[in-house]
Amino acid sequence: MKRIDIRRLLCAVALMTCAAATPRAAETELAEAYCSKQAWTPTGSESTDGRRYAPDRNVDIIHLTLDVTPDFEQRTISGTTTIRFAPIGKALSELRLDAVDLTVTRIESSEVLLDTEVTANEIILTFASPIAAGREATVTIEHSAEPTEGMYFRTPALGYPAGNEHIFTQGEPFSARHWFPGYDAPNEKFTSQITCRVPEAMVVFANGRKTAEETDPGTGLKVVTWLQDKPHPNYLIALCAGFFESIQGDYNGMPLSFTTPPAHAEWAANSYRGTADMMAFFENEIGVPYPWDQYAQVVVDDFVAGGMENTSLTILTTRTLFPDSIGNVRNSESLVAHELAHQWFGDLVTCKDWSHLWLNESFATYYDWLYHDHAHGANSRRYVMLQRRESILADESDPLPIVWREYDDANERFGYRVYTKGGWVLHMLRTQLGEELFRESIQTYLERNAYGNVVTEDLNSVVEELSGRSFDRFFDQWIYHGKHPELDVRYEWLAAEKLAKISVRQTHETGGDVMLFDFPATVRFFGADVTQDRTLDIREVEEDFFIPLDFKPEIVRFDPDLNLLADISFDIPNAMLHAQLVNERDAIGRVLACRALEDRRDGGSISKLKRALNEDSFYGVRLAAARALRKIGSDAAFEALLESMNQDDERVRRSVAGDVGGFFEPRAREALVNALSGTGADAAGEEAEGNAETNPAVAASLIGALGKYPSDPDLRELLGGYLRSESFRQMLAVAAIGAIRSLDDPAMIDPLSAALRERESEFTTRGFASGLDALAWIARNEDDRDSVRSLIEDYVNDPNTGRQHAALRALGTLRDPKAISVVKAFADRSPSDPAQGEAKAALKKLRDAKSVPVELSDLRGEVTKLENELGDLSERFDELEGKLDSRASGAQGKKRRWFFGLF
């Protein structure tokens, strides 16, 4: 629980009251920033109550042919699109195609056209005579565009290395329409052919298989054609072209490849290496062969997401690449497995509309976890799922269900509910069905719906058919309603009766959005040489279960195998926690024991956590022990961490570094510096030489942790040195930037400015953006901000949109009124300009700073945060009172008692 300093809050409120007479900037700016966002409503059907559904399919799109030529200097695309289609159900008089900001120069059709109209968002074709249902027809459209989304250029003019020029596309959910016209909704599938014309030295990737490659004698351009002869939706149409280097492989004779721009080629093998094993695992686990002709993975600079599962062609971010020196701290396995699993879930079968997006994303998430189990063992998979469960439970205020139609923009659907929460729901389904029946159900679900669209009921119907059980309530409570169970679990040993009493209360609020849950849960009892499991069927608000045992349990575990998505409070005595902490039969139990001991400050608990941190065989336990010691925060806990920094496992070493850095203590800073340099003192306090940290991810964590200590010449020199250092993707320099921002020391303005000026091309877009932000932050209180403002303003017209947007944000952070005119020029642009939103937000900050002193403006934010925290506490207190009252009155149900094996 967060503690609030009431005295600080009262002082802050007093200062705000004194400042009330100071004129404030117009409050309409923020409102304008929202009201002016008039986005084009994507293709779809919307009811009067705001719910979104799949659009009508007036035609069946049979085949799409694209022939395009990118212009890398002008960053434009031109070409022709031919669509072969047939009306469905009735004669067609008018065909509407999604097309945003396309310049159309020619339209032809196999049918006589009465009229054509090109708007900002559509191409409308009216036929002289209606086309009969089922009769095939074609339209050909010649077009060009300078796309702001959907297709992206990476060229030297945008700050990318020469010799690495490339383009890539990203269609999900509705962006393909920005570079070619079509039916841009997921409930229509068709075959496709893409021809791309590029300079001779470039290569081209697209969906399906390459069918032709030749040189056009008239233009000298290479002409490459790819055919996808199996149906797929518009948003999965993909194209990559440019200078690339590839690793070639195969899986059972099917081509595999992993491709990067040349500048990144040396790290490609590390990310590619697990692909064939994943393919074999998924085919065996899913029961359906890989459904496409080949599998290519192409890494591109500054991809707009982590990865995109286009049919047979996954596009990945360069952030997934890693060198050998990074050890086990980071790898590409999860991303590569997730995107590969999509080739079945999302590509072979596709959600009918975005409300059922979990059928794409949750399956990819869960099969990534299953592969993790295959590659690293059940305990490691459970640990990953535990972390994901904690992230789900952290959002206490979200009541929305997984299937949800009341969204304004399809991008709103891409949140944790359709990824990790849905993955957890699939895990619970697998647990209830058993592995074999789950596998049979998924195989049948895919085979029946192959190359088609699905909704949640398609999955439910297969599960019910093969299991003979009703799963209506399962899907109702987990998919169509929101939240998760919140459980208060108690244990009591009744010695005279030799009964274990387990009491379970569902403490969450129920209502229209959230149900009272019905689910099975396992309780495991550990004795000296025996283990017994019992399954509890939980369905009431409050229930008692009495379980006869031949032994008094030494350890009691609720949901021991991590099969339940629930917020579980299970308070047990220290002695039982200490026994759980050393139980070699239960790795996740040891992790949870560490978590529970975070609130125990006694010497015995600290000693046992230190032992776990240094001796436990499972890295997850060691990470949890380090976190627990940091949260305990006592002198003894600090000493335990300090003496545990030398860890062989790099994941644990990095975590311990961060946890040591969590103490505001001079010796912590000294330990961090020593770990970086390899110097320090041994256990006897004598100077000793060690090994300087060579893992860039661990070193970056050490550097970042230094930002919370007082600045002095030594620290400034150290961070300045890292600003000039060379490392993979400049990780150490970027870590130094983060530390400099945290230090908030204006003395670092000059060295940081110099690093940004001199090393601009060496930073990633994200790294450079963090530098502009840090520079603005540490200069915001200076009287003279001209030089910093000038440096930042140099990037407001940068053709690299990442740097441009970062510059606009940084001007807002700098809060120099002299920047208002520059930022306003961007804020006054059309809402279709991506920079406008950034500029409006920055302009709001600048105008606020002009009317309120910077220090007071900072303080206002702190006061607002504190007030919100107080309000949250008050609401939670009221909520708790209400829950207690309702439990006392038995308003939501009667208490149930269950006796196992007694009658």
Residue 855 has pLDDT above 60, yes or no: no
Distance CA 383, CA 652 (A): 14
Q: Find tokens 């990067």 and name the residue.
A: 260
Distance CA 341, CA 647 (A): 34
Nearest to 334 by CA among 303, 360, 372, 302: 372
Question: Over the stretch 696-726, which tens digit does the pLDDT of each residue have?
Answer: 999 999 999 999 999 999 999 999 999 999 9
Residue 65 has pLDDT above 60, yes or no: yes
More confident residue, 307 or 603: 307
Distance CA 222, CA 234 (A): 25
Q: Find tokens 């280097």 and name the residue.
A: 245
Distance CA 722, CA 700 (A): 10
Residue 375 has pLDDT above 70, yes or no: yes
Stretch among 36-45, 231-240, 589-598 having the lowest mean pLDDT: 36-45
More confident residue, 290 or 859: 290
Question: What's the mean pLDDT in 98-103?
Answer: 98
Residue 764 has pLDDT above 70, yes or no: yes
Contact 153, 178 (CB under 8 A): no
Distance CA 233, CA 252 (A): 27
Sign, Cα dihedral of 754, 758, 762, 765:
positive
- Quickly list DSSP for 661-685: TTS--HHHHHHHHHHHHTEEE-TTS
Q: What is the largest CA-CA distance in the chain?
A: 96
More confident residue, 887 or 251: 251
Contact 779, 813 (CB under 8 A): no
What pLDDT shows up at residue 512?
A: 86
Nearest to 750 by CA among 728, 725, 729, 719: 719
What pLDDT shows up at residue 288?
A: 98
What pLDDT shows up at residue 52?
A: 94
Cite the beta strand spans of 424-518 per DSSP E: 452-454, 486-494, 499-506
Contact 362, 344 (CB under 8 A): no
Question: Over the stretch 402-457, which tens digit does the pLDDT of each residue have?
Answer: 999 999 999 999 999 999 999 999 999 999 999 999 999 999 999 999 999 999 99
Neighbours of 829 (CB within 10 A): 13
Please state, for a pLDDT cut of 70, what percent of the chain lies above it.
87
Distance CA 450, CA 453 (A): 8
What pLDDT shows up at residue 600?
A: 85
What pLDDT shows up at residue 832?
A: 83
Residue 897 has pLDDT above 60, yes or no: no
Residue 778 has pLDDT above 80, yes or no: yes
Question: Over the stretch 182-205, which tens digit does the pLDDT of each residue have?
Answer: 999 999 999 999 999 999 999 999
DSSP letter for 482, please: B
Long-range own/partner contacts, residues 653-658 (CB < 8 A, 24 or more apart): 653/695, 653/698, 654/329, 654/695, 654/697, 654/698, 654/701, 655/622, 655/623, 655/626, 655/627, 656/613, 656/626, 657/698, 657/701, 657/702, 657/705, 658/701, 658/704, 658/705
Residue 469 has pLDDT above 70, yes or no: yes
Q: For 686-750, give the secondary structure using H, E and C.
A: CEEECCCCCCHHHHHHHHHHHHHCCCCHHHHHHHHHHHCCCCHHHHHHHHHHHHHHHHCCHHHHH
Distance CA 402, CA 375 (A): 29
Residue 181 has pLDDT above 70, yes or no: yes
Look up the pTM and report it. Answer: 0.89
What pLDDT shows up at residue 867?
A: 55
Neighbours of 75 (CB within 10 A): 18
Residue 233 has pLDDT above 60, yes or no: yes
Q: For 52-110, give the secondary structure using H, E and C.
A: EECCCCCEEEEEEEEEEEEECCCCEEEEEEEEEEEECCCCEEEEEEECCCCEEEEEEEC
Residue 595 has pLDDT above 70, yes or no: yes
Nearest to 659 by CA among 648, 643, 674: 643
Which residues are registered as beta bridge partners of 67? 80, 195
What pLDDT shows up at residue 395?
A: 86
749-758 and 765-779 helices, crossing angle to 10°: 150
Nearest to 125 by CA among 159, 96, 89: 96
Cα dihedral 251, 254, 260, 265 in deg (nearest 10): 50
Nearest to 732 by CA among 749, 755, 708: 755
- 23 band by pLDDT with thresholds 50, 70 and 90: very low
Distance CA 95, CA 123 (A): 8
- 681 band by pLDDT with thresholds 50, 70 and 90: very low
Question: What's the mean pLDDT in 258-264?
Answer: 98
Ramachandran quadrant class, 791 (left: phi over 0; alpha: psi -120 to 50; beta: rest): alpha
Stretch among 78-92, 204-218, 418-432, 823-837 having the lowest mean pLDDT: 823-837
- Give the DSSP H/E element, type plus range, for residue 317: strand 313-317
Question: What's the mean pLDDT in 317-325?
Answer: 97
C-alpha pair distances (Å), 466 with each of 219, 446, 457, 477, 620: 59, 14, 14, 21, 37
569 phi/psi in degrees, rounded to 5: -105, 115
Residue 69 has pLDDT above 60, yes or no: yes
Q: Are strands 137-145 and 189-198 parallel, antiparallel or unpaired?
A: unpaired
Distance CA 589, CA 605 (A): 16
Q: What tokens appear for 2 in the block?
A: 């967060």
Distance CA 107, CA 123 (A): 10
Contact 596, 608 (CB under 8 A): no
Contact 237, 64 (CB under 8 A): yes
Residue 299: Cβ-neighbour burial (10 angstroms; 0-12, 13-18, 19+): buried
Distance CA 108, CA 84 (A): 12
Residue 620 has pLDDT above 60, yes or no: yes
Distance CA 607, CA 619 (A): 18
Distance CA 751, CA 757 (A): 10
Distance CA 616, CA 650 (A): 15
Q: Are strands 59-71 and 76-87 parallel, antiparallel or unpaired?
A: antiparallel
Distance CA 509, CA 887 (A): 11
Mean pLDDT of all residues belonging to the chain: 90
